[in-house]
Each structure stands twice: as C-alpha cells, then as structure tokens.
Amino acid sequence: MGLVSPKTEVEFDLNGHPSKDAQTAKKVVYDTKDLNLWYGKDHALKNINLSIYENEVTAIIGPSGCGKSTYIKTLNRMVQLVPIVKISGDIMYRGKSILDKSYQVEDLRTRVGMVFQKPNPFPKSIYENVAYGPKIHGIRNKKILDEIVERSLRGAAIWDEVKERLHENAYGLSGGQQQRLCIARCLAIEPDVILMDEPTSALDPKSTLKVEELIQELKKNYSIIIVTHNMQQAARISDKTAFFLNGEIVEFDSTDMIFSNPTDKRTEDYITGRFG
C-alpha cells in the first residue's frame, strides 16, 4: 500500500502528511515523502510517507527484513554509507530536505543521535565516552566538560551508579549500564532527535525496564524513533506506531489505535502473533 492510513482527517491529509491543523498543534520533526530505497535491485523501502512529531515516541514495528532499520538509517543518512543504495522521494527534517546535496550531513549528525542494538561504548573511561562528542565539537574547558558529563549521565539515569568510577573503563559496566552510557553519550551532543534501533534487544528484563522508563522521561525533551521487535514494548512506550511489511507501511496511527483497533487485517494478524 505505501500510504499511511488517514484515519483522522484532522491529523492527516489524503497522502498521509500532516494537515495544517495538526502541524500547528504539534510540530513535525521529520516528514518523509514518497520515499523509495533500493539496495542494488532489492527494493527495500516502497513509497514511504510518514511524519514524526516532536516530543513523541514513534515506534517502528514489523517482521524481520521489512525495512525498519533501513528506514531509521535514512533519517540520519547513515544508509547512504552503503555504496549500492539508491533513493528517490524526500525526507524533510525541520522543514529542510536532508537528501538535498547542499545539506551538510555533519549538521544532521549533531542534531540526530543514534543508539544501536548492541551497546557500543568506546574502549575508554566512562567519562571519556561522554566527553568525546563535546570534545570533537571543540569544547576543551574541563569545568564545562565535567558539567556536560554529569548532566548527560543524569539524563540517562546512570549517574548514581557510575559517579564514583567515572575514570574506569566503560567495558566494566553491565550491558544495561553500557546501553544507558551510550544514551548519555548521545545526550552529550544535545541532540534534537534520538534514533534507537532495537535498543533493548540485547538486555535482560530489568535493564530493559530501566531503558523503557528512561525513554518515557527523555521524550519530554527529545523526539524519539524506536525500532522494536517487541510489540509489548511498542505498546508500553510509544505514542505512535508504524507497522512495516515488505518495505511498505501498512498502517501508521496512534499506538492505542494500532493495538486496539487496527484498520488493516495484516496489522491485526501481526500484533496478534499470527505471523512474524
């Protein structure tokens, strides 16, 4: 299908883009328009139309290989690191096309942070992991760096656990702590958006809960897009959910609607576990 189901006419126009009313009510961070992506001949994303709103958690769900990771990697242009990738359509971030040749990818990367499936701290101290981004951006003042490190670690709900061991290697932390450290590293560059690609799939249930609580807290200040295989997780923490299948969006709506009253039979079959 490719088009977003326009369930609420106040919110979406017939192409699935936000209506004027909706745009004034809540700001759109990303507006994806007729996006198609190919890996060589493999058509991985098909006519994607999707709007991401400010201070919301948007979940991307769907079975393996449906294009979830590919889609979020288009939002920071990471997918274009793959040489065989071809893209058509457009992605507007804060009103500007990020696919335009004149758009500076470095600017995008300072506005859009990313957290991956497997925690990937650098083989450095906890402090250095968080201070790394600000240092790259030219901040050298120790007092300012100390403040950023503390603020970011607090923001990622891990300060109390690490404040006595800031100069120890990050590899000494548990998996769940490492993932929150990676979130702190992301916060240190003061992003606008945080992309999360299955951020809890390598974590135990307790650490997963901590990261989920953290995501709820972070959405007050950031817009979050999360890819997850875990439908309970999407239902628990997201405001909107997009269901992807075979590179298309079958349905995009408020998470409540997707999980309680989906429009498309395929969405219902997926969320009730009939496939995937």
Residues that bind ligand ATP (CB under 6 A): 39, 42, 44, 62, 64-70, 82
Residue with smaller CB distance to ligand ATP, 12 or 71:
71
Residue with smaller CB distance to ligand ATP, 70 or 76:
70
What minimum distance in Å lies between the beta carbon of 85 and ligand ATP? 8
What minimum distance in Å lies between the beta carbon of 67 and ligand ATP? 4
Residue with smaller CB distance to ligand ATP, 87 or 157:
87
For the chain, the distance separating the N- and C-terminal CA atoms, rounded to the nearest angstrom, is: 19
Residue with smaller CB distance to ligand ATP, 39 or 122:
39
* Identity of the residue numbered 172: G
What minimum distance in Å lies between the beta carbon of 137 and ligand ATP? 29
What minimum distance in Å lies between the beta carbon of 240 and ligand ATP? 18
What minimum distance in Å lies between the beta carbon of 151 and ligand ATP? 32
Could you give the residue ranges of the DSSP H alpha helices within 204-275? 205-218, 231-237, 255-260, 265-271
Q: Which of 87, 90, 110 is nearest to 187 (CA)?
A: 110
* Identity of the residue numbered 276: G
Contact between 202 and 177 under an 8 Å Cβ cutoff? The reply is no
Residue with smaller CB distance to ligand ATP, 30 or 127:
30
Could you give the residue ranges of the DSSP H alpha helices within the chain? 20-25, 68-74, 105-111, 126-136, 142-155, 159-162, 175-187, 205-218, 231-237, 255-260, 265-271
